[in-house]
Amino acid sequence: MRHLLLAAAASLVLPAYAEEPAPIPSPGEIAAAAPAKDWIAIAASDLLVMDLAPDAKGKPRRVVIQLMPAPFSQGWIGNIRKLAAAHWWDGTSVNRVQDNYVVQWGDATEKKALPSGLATVPESEYVVSDPASKEMTSGGKPAMVLSKDEAARRAGRTDGDQGLDIYGSGFEPAADAYAPRVTFESGWPISLDDRNLPGQRWPLHCYGMVGVGRNMSPDTGSGAELYVVIGQAPRHLDRNIALVGRVVHGIEHLSSLPRGTGGLGFYETEAERAPIMSIRAATELPVAERPRFEYLSTDSESFRRYADARANRRDPFFIRPAGGADICNIPVPIRPVEAK
């Protein structure tokens, strides 16, 4: 029975010994059963391939990062593309690992010249505002956190509706502690705030998200110094630091690194740093060697069912569904595509 311990609590892993289908599917089972049309290929041009030096046992350590698409692809992402094209990170290292916070990499010497032509991006770019999003934020595509029945219950109503349709017209989007609305857009977790500016929105510091290290304001960082979230979502960083992407493969090679013993988790000696052999745009690799991934469309019915199941675990392990979920606890399903 060892494998059943906490079994159904794992989201994206199928039960180890599922001999018959569960009466109510888990979130991971819902995602795994989604039809091909609900999966969207991630463009190779949006992928970065990071190869750390092999581990102590000689095993390769590859991490793949997806850069954010428009409208979230601000100037930092252009800089990152230039840095990758210049092979700038080759020979740099992971320099900081702070438990329950971030893993950070870049040039430990702080002396390596940057490529020319990098943009200096203003702080205003931490938040996106474009007319295209107005319709979405004015009610067309509602945010989600609470299920319909839970939202109704909390609002003091008990209409007895136990339906799964959290996106139905009766659904009430919920704020969280950090923003008046949270939702998904094009496969990414975002916050919305159109009270002051139509379509104002920004990406969220969830587990696995990649951001740009910076010095004190008004510096916003170039993109040469990057970090990935490896703990409880540090949402207080939202709108304070640029987010540029997420790790879609191999985060364990970063999250399981030894924690640094210096201030803020910096490694204190050269020997502790994890060497970065290379970071490449996937498009630099031969076509057959490019990593390929898909994400579950956040506009799909499959994702709606998946998100609802995350918020209301009814698969057999659970005895009491929560009735809601933190948006960072609804990771967008991503899967590798095998070469044909």
Instruction: State which of positions 190-209 bind its own copies (CB under 8 A).
Output: 206-208
HSE-CB at 238 with a 13 A cutoff on CA atoms is: 22
Q: Binding residues for its own copies, how many (CB under 8 A)?
A: 86
Look at residue 329 and give its three-state secondary structure. Answer: helix
CB of 283 to its own copies, least distance (A): 28
| 56 in contact with its own copies (CB under 8 A) | yes
Our finding on whether 256 is near its own copies (CB under 8 A) is yes
Interface residue with its own copies, options 154, 163, 197, 336 (CB under 8 A):
154
Cβ nearer to its own copies, comparing 36 with 319: 319
Region 93-152 residues binding its own copies, contact defined as CB under 8 A: 95-102, 104, 108, 110, 123, 145-146
C-alpha span between 27 and 13 (Å, rounded) = 9
Q: Return the residue of 45, 120, 138, 232 that touches its own copies, per CB under 8 A.
A: 232
Q: Which residues pair with 175 in a beta bridge?
A: none
**β-strand pairing of 226-229 with 209-212:** antiparallel
Q: Select the residue interacting with its own copies from 131, 215, 269, 288 (CB under 8 A).
A: 215
Q: Which two tokens stand for residue 332?
A: 């967008």
Q: Which residues contact 143 (CB under 8 A, 6 or more apart)?
A: 173, 174, 181, 182, 183, 192
Q: With beta carbons less than 8 A apart as the criterion, state whether 92 and 110 touch.
A: no
- Closest distance of CB 308 from its own copies, Å: 12
Residue 340 found at the interface with its own copies (CB under 8 A): no
Alpha-carbon distance of 84 to 278, in angstroms, equals 9
| Largest CA-CA distance found in the chain, in angstroms, rounded | 64
Nearest-approach distance from CB 193 to its own copies, in angstroms: 11
Q: Which of 54, 231, 270, 339 binds its own copies (CB under 8 A)?
A: 231
Q: Kindly state the smallest distance separating residue 166's Cβ from its own copies, in Å.
A: 12
Interface with its own copies includes 275 (CB under 8 A)? no
Instruction: Name residue 69's amino acid.
Output: P
